[in-house]
Amino acid sequence: MAANVVKTPFLVNDLVVYFVSPRVAHVVEVDCRIELTTTPDSCTCCTFRFRSRLDPDYRCRHIEAVRQVLKQARRADPGSEQVICGH
């Protein structure tokens, strides 16, 4: 599922989400050069690593962006518009 998202950059609000596999994405903030490695359940950002120790269910906005792309990709027709904008 959602294999069509791989190797395509998606813009989600102010984040660029780039999947390197169907469940692993690189996330870059437009005003920041740090590239994060994010899955639907984990993220390499400091916020997630710190908060997830206190709250195992915590999701940073990078994880939310990855989940949003995957959710919309499942609904989208194959070959439809590649850029998904936020609300």
CB of 23 closer than 8 Å to CB of 40: yes
Q: Which two tokens stand for residue 32?
A: 């920041």
Question: Smaller CB distance to Zn ion: residue 3 or 46?
Answer: 46
The maximal CA–CA distance of the chain, rounded, in angstroms, is 41
Question: Smaller CB distance to Zn ion: residue 39 or 72?
Answer: 39
**Which residue type does 65 have?**
A
Least Cβ distance, residue 71 to Zn ion (angstroms) = 17
**CA gyration radius, the chain:** 13
Q: Which residues bind Zn ion (CB under 5 A)?
A: 43, 45, 48, 60, 62
Least Cβ distance, residue 74 to Zn ion (angstroms) = 22
Question: Smaller CB distance to Zn ion: residue 12 or 43?
Answer: 43
Least Cβ distance, residue 73 to Zn ion (angstroms) = 20
Q: Which two tokens stand for residue 82?
A: 């590649």
